[in-house]
Amino acid sequence: MIQKLLKVLLWLPLLVLRALRLVCYGIAATPRAVGRSPMRLYRKAAVWRDWLLAKIDYLQGESDKWRRTFNTLKAPYSILRSMGLSPQMAIGLLAVGTTATTGVVAAEAMKPPSFAAGDPGVYNAPLDSPIFSSKEFNTLRMDLGSTPIGLVMIEDVTLGTAYADSTLPSGESDVIIVGGKPTVAEPAFTETYLEVGHMTVDRWRCTTLTLSNIEANTLIVRGNASDGQSIAAVAGTPRDRAISGGNRADDMLTSGGYYDQLKITAASSGVNGQIDRLVLSNLYSKGGGCVLDRIKAGTLEIILNEVGAGDGFDTKDFQIETSVIYKSFENDDNVEVSISPPA
Q: How confident is the model at residue 100 (pLDDT cuts 50, 70, 90)?
A: very low
Q: Which amino acid is at 85?
A: L
- 125, 188: one domain: yes
- 28, 167: one domain: no
Q: Into how many domains does the chain fold?
A: 3
Q: How far apart are CA 123 and CA 134, in angstroms?
A: 13
Given 111, 136, 162, the domain boundary residue is: 111
- 61, 83: one domain: no
Peptide bond into 341 cis (omega under 30): no
Stretch 196-207: mean pLDDT = 97
Q: Give the pLDDT confidence score for residue 325 in this predicted structure.
A: 98
- 256, 305: one domain: yes
Evaluate whether residue 3 is within a structural domain.
no
Distances (CA, A) of 273 to 74, 147, 260, 269: 42, 8, 23, 11
Evaluate whether residue 342 is within a structural domain.
no
Q: Give the pLDDT confidence score for residue 90 in this predicted structure.
A: 63
Domain of 160 in residue numbering reads as: 119-336
- 255, 145: one domain: yes
Q: How confident is the model at residue 107 (pLDDT cuts 50, 70, 90)?
A: very low
- 65, 139: one domain: no
The rounded Cα 52 to chain-centroid distance in angstroms is 43
Evaluate whether residue 156 is within a structural domain.
yes
Q: How confident is the model at residue 25 (pLDDT cuts 50, 70, 90)?
A: low
pLDDT in tens, 40-73: 767 777 777 787 778 777 877 777 777 666 555 5
CB 148 within 8 A of CB 273: no
pLDDT in tens, 308-334: 998 999 999 999 999 999 999 999 999
- 309, 189: one domain: yes
- 192, 317: one domain: yes
Given 60, 93, 111, the domain boundary residue is: 111
- 187, 242: one domain: yes
Look over the chain and give the mean of its residue pLDDT values, rounded to a whole number. 83
Given 61, 82, 111, the domain boundary residue is: 111
- 284, 157: one domain: yes
Evaluate whether residue 136 is within a structural domain.
yes
Q: How far apart are CA 14 and CA 27, in angstroms?
A: 20
pLDDT in tens, 133-184: 887 889 999 999 888 999 999 999 999 988 777 888 888 999 999 999 999 9
Evaluate whether residue 243 is within a structural domain.
yes
- 22, 128: one domain: no
Indicate the pTM of the whole model. Answer: 0.70
- 191, 298: one domain: yes
Q: How far apart are CA 72 and CA 93, in angstroms?
A: 9
